């Protein structure tokens, strides 16, 4: 049976001739569906907890208004306490780091990791975020949604034994699917990952990411009751001198967006100095949010309903200023206490309220020459997001997809680009640390020039003993998509390698293999690496070897098998050291 499956797989590969690019497109479709379902699962979790807490689901602002004032206070505090307990469970479930760190955040797992995300820690953190959000915490839900979608992609990639390069790309596809599912913006979801997470638009990676985004969006539309988070009004035409007002709005957002992020950091530092257990800190953050909601219930939740209200109904400037200040404090308290969630949606909230205030001020000064304040609110969302993320292209596309209006493009592009350059010139903060990481890439390249193979070693899963039978080796070949198995003796000493082509040839020719073992197929003169081998020397070895990986032995004198190095890992390190190539 095993030999039949091996023949079938070999012939199917020859028949269809699927390249790595074709394979990634197929898996990106699967990841797109999985990311959409992960997002729906989190949404349903929030809805069920809302029903459990208050007996109804829906807008958090409406939920807060229906509750008595004392419930508004203790519910976010209680939810924060439970969320803190779940975060403690997440810390206890963390695997041992060893010599290679495991990145919980999907951005780090893609940008500087190998795509592997810890399952237990990610799930506990998502559960913690679920309680923070469902109890009224002032934080975005998109963070854990994208995290779960990326985790699903990581699990799928590990299940099919993807190498680090392809696994990272698959996790990036999952992140794009999560963003698309959260905001109903497939183009912006794809550009979010390529601009922020990957840092470059390359067709080999952009193609699968776009496919995952589109598939996730199509999947979400199949669920009853699904609708975009923001209901955008028709954007008015903007002509003449008024365009300069949107440039001024971009300057304002570019100055304030980094300060908004700095306030989050200051609050985090303040909470970290408190000699309190983690559940008590999150409960304190929830308590601040609850007390503020007694006067302003709009501070509850991520602000979807408030932004929609600003876009479709008139607000006084005093009401806007009040909700802006209270929401800012509530978000800082929730995020600063250590709650898990996204700051992406609160950033859109800040941009909408700030833009509406700016529009009201300009309308008061120039009543017959300016658009309605909601137009400035829409553009303010994009400009504030561009300043906070330092990703203007993603911000432009996201607002354009939400409005589906060509009229918004000119003022939106001006404001976002201006906000981006002002934010970079006036602040050193970005919503995503990876953006700042890329500003320090030169130091990283210097480190990579001294990289040795010991930093790239991965476990060698495909190892057999010299006495292994053909049936044993066939089983390993079927489980792992590799061309060679590594042969060791009882002490772990590397003896050589067995080629898939040799065994396949015997099976196809129907030769008797019942008495053959690994030692009969052994290639003793197999190329190897050592842990202290520099990057450039190892690259020369790979250039003369037609394969994806090479074994690493401890030394020529003690040839114990230490693991393997993948060609993609080595080329990735070399590319980051020499990006111009």
For 323-410, list the strands marked E by DSSP.
none
Domain boundary assignment for the chain: 18-221, 242-278+290-446, 453-577
Mean pLDDT score, 328-344: 89
Confidence check: pLDDT of 435 > 70: no
Tokens 């809805």 -> residue = 47
Percent of the chain with pLDDT over 90: 24
pLDDT attached to residue 59: 82
pLDDT of residue 543: 80
In this model, does residue 262 exceed pLDDT 60? yes
Phi-psi map region of 216: left, alpha, beta (phi>0 left; psi -120 to 50 alpha): alpha
Helices (H), 404-456: 409-426, 433-439, 441-449
Distance separating alpha carbons of residues 42 and 20, to the nearest angstrom? 32
Q: What is the pLDDT of residue 380?
A: 95
**Other Cβ atoms closer than 10 A to 41:** 14
Measured CA to CA, the distance from residue 496 to residue 482 in angstroms comes to 15
Residue with the two structure tokens 């957002």 = 253
pLDDT band (50, 70, 90) for residue 97: very low
Least confident of 219-233, 286-300, 416-430, 437-451: 437-451
Sorted by sequence, the CB contacts under 8 Å of residue 252 that are 6+ apart come out as 354, 358
What are the b/e assignments for 340-373, b being 16+ CB within 10 Å? bbbbbbbbbbbbbbbbbbbbbebbeeeeeebbbb
pLDDT over 60 (residue 564): yes
Instruction: Give the residue, 8 or 259, on which the prediction is more confident.
Output: 259
Ranking 92-96, 227-231, 370-374 by mean pLDDT, the lowest is 92-96
- Domain 453-577 top-level CATH class: alpha beta
For 142, phi then psi, to 5°, come to: -70, -30
The band of 197, judged by pLDDT with boundaries at 50, 70 and 90, is: confident
Same fold, 18-221 and 242-278+290-446: yes
User: 113 pLDDT exceeds 50?
Assistant: yes
What is the Cα–Cα distance from 356 to 346, expressed in whole angstroms?
15
pLDDT score at 85: 92
Question: Phi/psi of residue 303, each to 5°?
Answer: 95, 10
pLDDT at 359: 93
Of 93-107, 216-230, 454-468, 470-484, minimum mean pLDDT range:
93-107
Mean pLDDT of 189-212: 79
End-to-end Cα, the chain, rounded Å: 47
18-221 to CATH, choices 1.10.3080.10, 3.40.50.720, 3.40.50.300, 1.10.3720.10: 1.10.3080.10
Within 8 A by CB and 6+ apart from 67, the residues are: 54, 75
- 279-288 confidence digits (pLDDT tens): 999 999 999 9
398, 188 Cβ separation under 8 angstroms: yes
Confidence of residue 9 (pLDDT cuts 50, 70, 90): very low
> Which pLDDT does position 99 carry in this prediction?
45
Q: Which single residue is written with the structure tokens 């990735």?
A: 572
Pairing of strands 463-465, 484-488: parallel
Task: Flag whether pLDDT at 98 surpasses 50.
Answer: no
Strand 549-553 relative to strand 561-566, pairing: antiparallel
Q: What pLDDT does residue 323 have?
A: 93
Q: Mean pLDDT, to the nearest integer, of 229-246?
A: 86
Average pLDDT of the residues of the chain:
83
**What span, in angstroms and rounded, lies between the C-alpha atoms of 32 and 219?**
8
Residues in contact with 148: Cβ distance below 8 Å, sequence separation at least 6, in sequence order: 38, 39, 41, 42, 122, 126, 178
Q: Return the bridge partners of 534, or none.
A: 452
SS (H, E, C) 74-90: HHHHHHHHHHHHHHHHH
Per-residue model confidence (pLDDT) at position 448: 56
Residue 438, pLDDT score: 53
Question: Residue 94's pLDDT is what?
Answer: 59
Rounded to two decimals, the pTM is 0.71
Residue that wins the pLDDT comparison between 443 and 472: 472
Q: What's residue 254's pLDDT?
A: 93
pLDDT interval class at 581 (50, 70, 90): very low
Q: What is the mean pLDDT of residues 298-325?
A: 90
Convert the pLDDT of each residue in 505-533 to its tens digit.
888 888 888 888 888 888 878 888 888 88
- 3-state class percentages of the chain: helix first, strand second, coil last, to nearest 5: 65, 5, 25
3-state secondary structure 201-258: CCHHHHHHHHHHHHHHHHHHHCCCCCCCCCCCCCCCCCCCCHHHHHHHHHHHHHHHHH
- Closest Cα partner for 33 from 224, 214, 191? 214
CATH number of 242-278+290-446: 1.10.3080.10
What is the average per-residue pLDDT within 151-173?
86
């Amino acid at each position: 049976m095993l030999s039949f499956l091996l023949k079938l797989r070999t012939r199917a590969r020859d028949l269809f001739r699927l390249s790595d690019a074709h394979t990634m497109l197929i898996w990106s479709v699967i990841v797109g569906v999985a990311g959409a379902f992960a997002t729906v699962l989190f949404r349903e979790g929030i809805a069920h907890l809302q029903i459990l807490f208050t007996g109804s689901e829906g807008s958090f602002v409406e939920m807060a208004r229906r509750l008595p004032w004392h419930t508004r206070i203790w519910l976010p505090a209680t939810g924060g306490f439970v969320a803190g307990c779940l975060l403690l469970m997440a810390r206890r479930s963390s695997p041992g780091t060893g010599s290679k760190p495991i990145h919980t955040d999907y951005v780090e797992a893609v940008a500087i990791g190998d795509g592997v995300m810890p399952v237990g820690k990610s799930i506990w953190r998502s559960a913690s975020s679920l309680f923070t959000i469902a109890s009224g915490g002032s934080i975005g839900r998109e963070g854990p949604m994208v995290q779960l979608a990326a985790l699903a992609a990581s699990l799928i990639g590990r299940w099919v034994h993807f190498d680090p390069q392809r696994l990272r790309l698959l996790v990036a596809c999952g992140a794009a699917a999560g963003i698309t599912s959260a905001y109903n913006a497939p183009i912006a979801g794809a550009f979010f990952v390529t601009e922020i997470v990957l840092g470059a638009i390359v067709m080999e990676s952009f193609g699968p990411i776009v496919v995952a985004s589109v598939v996730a969006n199509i999947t979400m539309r199949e669920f009853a009751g699904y609708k975009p988070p923001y209901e955008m009004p028709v954007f008015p035409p903007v002509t003449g001198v008024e365009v300069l007002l949107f440039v001024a709005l971009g300057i304002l957002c570019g100055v304030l967006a980094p300060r908004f992020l700095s306030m989050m950091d200051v609050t985090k530092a303040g909470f970290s100095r408190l000699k309190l257990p983690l559940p008590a800190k999150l409960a304190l953050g929830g308590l601040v949010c609850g007390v503020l909601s007694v006067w302003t219930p709009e501070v509850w939740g991520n602000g979807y309903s408030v932004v929609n209200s600003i876009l479709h109904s008139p607000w006084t400037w005093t009401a806007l200023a009040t909700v802006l200040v209270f929401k800012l404090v509530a978000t800082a308290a929730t995020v600063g206490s250590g709650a898990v969630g996204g700051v992406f949606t609160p950033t859109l909230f800040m941009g909408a309220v700030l833009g509406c205030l700016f529009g009201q001020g300009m309308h008061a000064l120039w009543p017959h020459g300016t658009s309605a304040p909601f137009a400035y609110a829409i553009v303010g969302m994009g400009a504030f997001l561009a300043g906070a993320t330092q990703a203007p292209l993603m911000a432009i596309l996201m607002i354009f997809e939400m409005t589906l209006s060509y009229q918004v493009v000119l003022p939106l592009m001006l404001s976002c680009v201006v906000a981006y350059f002002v934010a970079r010139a006036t602040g050193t903060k970005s919503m995503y640390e990876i953006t700042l990481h890329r500003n320090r890439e030169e130091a990283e390249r210097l480190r990579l020039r001294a990289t040795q193979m010991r930093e790239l070693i991965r476990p060698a899963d495909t190892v057999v003993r010299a006495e292994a039978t053909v049936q044993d080796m066939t089983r390993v070949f079927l489980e792992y998509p590799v061309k060679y198995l590594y042969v060791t003796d009882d002490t772990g000493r590397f003896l050589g390698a067995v080629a898939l082509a040799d065994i396949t040839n015997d099976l196809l020719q129907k030769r008797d293999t019942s008495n053959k073992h690994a030692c009969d197929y052994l290639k003793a003169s197999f190329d190897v690496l050592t842990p202290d081998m520099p990057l450039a020397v190892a690259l020369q070895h790979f250039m003369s070897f037609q394969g994806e990986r090479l074994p690493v032995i401890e030394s020529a004198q003690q040839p114990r098998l230490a693991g393997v190095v993948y060609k993609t890992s080595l080329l990735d390190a070399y590319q980051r050291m020499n990006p111009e190539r």
